[in-house]
Amino acid sequence: MNGQRMAAYGSMGGVALGGFIWVVVAGLLIHDPAIWVSGAILALAIWWVGARAMLRNPARTLTVIGIVVVCVVLIDAAFLAIVLPRLPEEYAGLYFGTSPVFRALRPWLWVAGLAGPAVVLWDYLRARKRP
């Protein structure tokens, strides 16, 4: 296994872990095992499906990583709609964007949200230029 493939597996794992760790924490805060268990299972499932897709298409590593990012963002949006109204008031500051930590992270969240589709598009255009 080469270093590029290991880096791709690690980045997909980081996207899945980073994208769903908040779901697990929020599920624990609202005392709903269905939320936190589904967040953990989805993180593993998305990483596993991404790894399988990369094994089938090793030349399309960036596309696979980009699609994993897009999937995580869409699933996170669905979880946010379910979890946000149920969070206790004292913990909701981070999710409503009133926390200083969240305000500092907001630009990076926009960058991450745009990075997935950008990577897919870049890989697609790069593949079209190859003979």
39, 24 Cβ separation under 8 angstroms? yes
- pLDDT grade for 83, boundaries at 50, 70 and 90: confident
Considering only residues 100 and 74, tell me which one the structure prediction assigns the higher pLDDT.
Answer: 74
pTM for this entry: 0.72
d(CA 32, CA 124): 41
Nearest CA to 43 among 65, 63, 67, 14? Answer: 14
Task: Check residue 99 and report its DSSP letter.
Answer: S
Task: Check residue 58 and report its DSSP letter.
Answer: G
Tokens 């206790």, residue located:
88
Residue-level pLDDT at 124: 81
